[in-house]
Amino acid sequence: MSVLIYIENTNGKFKKSVFEAVSYARETADLLSTDLSAISIGSVEPEELAKIGTYGAMKVLTVDDSRFNSFSNRAYASIIAGAAKKESANIIILSNSFSGKDLAPRIAAKIEAALVEGAIALPKIQGNSFSVRKGVFSGKAFAEVELINENKVIALNPNSFEVKEFGENAQIEKFSPETGDKDLGILIKEIIRATDKVSLADAEIVVSAGRGLKAPENWKMIEELATVLGAATACSKPVSDAGWRPHEEHVGQTGLSISPNLYIAIGISGAIQHLAGITSSKIIVVINKDPEAPFFKVADYGIVGDAFEIVPKLIEKIKEFKSN
C-alpha cells in the first residue's frame, strides 16, 4: 500500500497547483505511514522533476516517450493505473486541473476506485473510515465524503492546500508503460493558450467585475488592476451572458468555482448564485456604490463608492506600493 501522485506538466514545467498536490499527497502518505511516488508523463527536465522531491515525493517515475507527449485522457489514465500497480499504490492523487478533471474518473473506472473530485482538505482517517472534504451545492455547502473502496482517487482543488517543503532527494526512474490503450482517434488540432494572462482556475488573486461597469469597454481598468496585481480577471453571469466578457471568465454557481487568496469584486451586487462560486476565497474585497449590496455581507473589506473613481486610484496606489 502506498500513495501515487500524478504530476501534470505544462510545457515541461510544473505549476504551483502541482506542488500543492504533491505536498498534500505526502501528508496523506504520512497519515498512513507509507511512501509517496510520483508519475510524470511527457518531456520534463531532471531539474524540474527534482522539485517534486523537494515537495515530498520519494521517487519519481517518468514516462519520456514521444507517443505520450500530448494529453489523452484514456492513454494517460492507463499509464497512471499501470504506475499505481507497479508501486502497489491504492491511493492516487492529482491536481483538479482541467486535464485532472478529464483524467480522474477514467483512472477511477479502470481500478474501480472511489473518487473525490475537488478535495479541499487532507483525508480524515478514523479506524476503517477514510473521508475527504469537498464543496457541494456549488460552494453553498461542504460534504465529508467517505471513500469506501480500498482503491481511491483524489483530485485536489488548486489553492486549497499549502505547499510544504520536505526536502526529499527523489530518485528518478524511467517508466515504460505497458499500455495498449490508444488515444481512441482523438486528434489535438490546436492548443490556444494566452501566455500573457494569469489563468483564472489557479490564480491567487482575482479581479472580477459585474454589470456595475455598464459597458464592455470599461474593462480596461479592470484588466489594468489585474495586471498590476498579477491577477486573473473574472466576471459575473449577466456580464458573460451579455457577451461583454467570454464565458470562461464567469465565476459563480453555473460558472467556475474558485478559491483565490484575494477576490476583488467590483460593481457586482452579490446574488446568491455568484457568491456560491467565490465564498471559499480567503479574502474578499467589495467595491460597490450601493451600500446595501448583499456582497458586503460576505466581504472582509469594502469600499462604498463609484468604481470609475476608485479603481484608477487603486491602480495608482498599488503601483506606488509595489515600487516601494
Partner 1 sequence: MKILVCISNVPDTTTKITFTNNNTEFNTAGVQFIVNPYDELALSKAIALSQGENGTVTVINVGEAGTEPTLRKALATGADEAVRINAAPRDAWFVAQQIANYAKDQQFDIILTGRESIDYNGAQVASLVGELLNIPSVSIAKKIDVQDGHATVEREIEGGKEVLEIPLPFIAGTAEGVAEPIIPNMRGIMSARTKPLHVIEAIEVPILSTIITYDTPEPRGAVQLVPEDDLERLIEMLHSKAKVI
Is the Cβ of residue 59 or residue 250 nearer to partner 1 in the bound state? Answer: 250
Q: How far is the CB of 126 from partner 1 (least distance, A)?
A: 10
Q: How far is the CB of 190 from partner 1 (least distance, A)?
A: 4
Is the Cβ of residue 88 or residue 261 nearer to partner 1 in the bound state? Answer: 261
Q: How far apart are CA 222 and CA 234, in angstroms?
A: 9
> Cell 482556475 belongs to which residue?
201
239: part of which helix (H) or strand (E)? helix 237-241
27, 123 Cβ separation under 8 angstroms: no
Q: How far apart are CA 55 and CA 165, in angstroms?
A: 5
Is the Cβ of residue 121 or residue 172 nearer to partner 1 in the bound state? Answer: 121
Q: How far is the CB of 252 from partner 1 (least distance, A)?
A: 9
Is the Cβ of residue 171 or residue 301 nearer to partner 1 in the bound state? Answer: 301
Is the Cβ of residue 43 or residue 99 nearer to partner 1 in the bound state? Answer: 99
CA distance to 21, 113, 147, 156, 210, per residue, from 104 (Å): 14, 10, 14, 10, 33
Q: How far is the CB of 237 from partner 1 (least distance, A)?
A: 9
Most distant CA atoms of the chain, gap in Å: 62
Q: How far apart are CA 82 and CA 88, in angstroms?
A: 10
Q: How far is the CB of 187 from partner 1 (least distance, A)?
A: 4
Is the Cβ of residue 174 or residue 193 nearer to partner 1 in the bound state? Answer: 193
Q: How far is the CB of 165 from partner 1 (least distance, A)?
A: 19
Those residues with Cβ within 8 angstroms of residue 196's Cβ, 6 or more apart along the chain or in another chain: none
Q: Locate 192 and state its grid cell.
A: 490556444
Please choose, from the candidates 7, 137, 110, 127, the residue with its C-alpha nearest in 3D space to the C-alpha of residue 118.
137
Q: How far apart are CA 290 and CA 305, in angstroms?
A: 7
Is the Cβ of residue 47 or residue 196 nearer to partner 1 in the bound state? Answer: 196
153, 107 Cβ separation under 8 angstroms: yes
77, 103 Cβ separation under 8 angstroms: yes
Q: How far is the CB of 18 from partner 1 (least distance, A)?
A: 11
Q: How far is the CB of 311 from partner 1 (least distance, A)?
A: 10
The string of DSSP letters for 15-44 reads -HHHHHHHHHHHHHHHHTT--EEEEEES--
Is the Cβ of residue 26 or residue 152 nearer to partner 1 in the bound state? Answer: 152
